[in-house]
């Protein structure tokens, strides 16, 4: 996948789900850690948001925080935010967890160039197919759903980091 050219420096990536308390803060924590491990954290900034507003200001879901902590990630400082059209002027890549959120983000985009910066996280997952681009929402599930979601996010983020390394022409 070809990534969009930067609108700012550092390259800014936002992970987006519905409420910004489960999938997107998990993806933000994983991407931040993987960027640091790859030595790209000074070139790429990551944050997250939700397309809905009902969790604004809340911490990440306790189950998400627990699963992340058990796997060596930290999301304790996370506070949910809602995406707005202004994000497209400051973010290079807006990464949706599913098709519904991608559609919402494209509607929020001020123009076609901004809408083209919306991608699905699973598009970077080597284990996904064109028919399987969803990071399932674990909110109504149990701990297993959060663990399974984290595994999908980790695979996908690894692919995203590899794409960023190539796009930013960083030797690795």
Catalytic one of 12, 23, 65, 117: 23
111 phi, psi to nearest 5 deg: -160, 175
Catalytic one of 61, 117, 137, 165: 137
Contacts 24+ apart (CB under 8 A), 40-45: 40/161, 40/164, 40/165, 40/168, 40/170, 42/10, 43/10, 43/11, 43/168, 43/170, 44/10, 44/11, 44/12, 44/13, 44/164, 44/168, 45/10, 45/11, 45/12, 45/13
Catalytic one of 17, 47, 63, 165: 17
Is residue 17 among the annotated active site residues? yes
Residues classed as catalytic: 17, 23, 137
């Amino acid at each position: 996948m070809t990534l969009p050219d930067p609108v700012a420096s550092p390259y800014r990536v936002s992970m987006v789900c519905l409420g910004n308390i489960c999938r997107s803060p998990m993806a933000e924590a994983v991407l931040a850690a993987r960027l640091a491990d790859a030595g790209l954290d000074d070139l790429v900034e990551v944050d997250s948001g939700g397309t809905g507003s009902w969790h604004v200001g809340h911490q990440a879901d306790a189950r998400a925080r627990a699963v992340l902590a058990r796997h060596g990630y930290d999301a304790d400082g996370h506070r949910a935010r809602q995406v707005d059209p202004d994000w497209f002027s400051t973010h290079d890549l807006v990464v949706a967890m599913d098709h519904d959120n991608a559609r919402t983000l494209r509607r929020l985009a001020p123009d076609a160039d901004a809408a083209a910066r919306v991608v699905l996280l699973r598009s970077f997952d080597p284990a996904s197919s064109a028919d399987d681009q969803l990071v399932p929402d674990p909110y109504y599930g149990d701990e297993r759903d959060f663990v399974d979601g984290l595994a999908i996010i980790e695979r996908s983020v690894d692919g995203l980091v590899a794409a960023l390394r190539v796009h930013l022409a960083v030797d690795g």
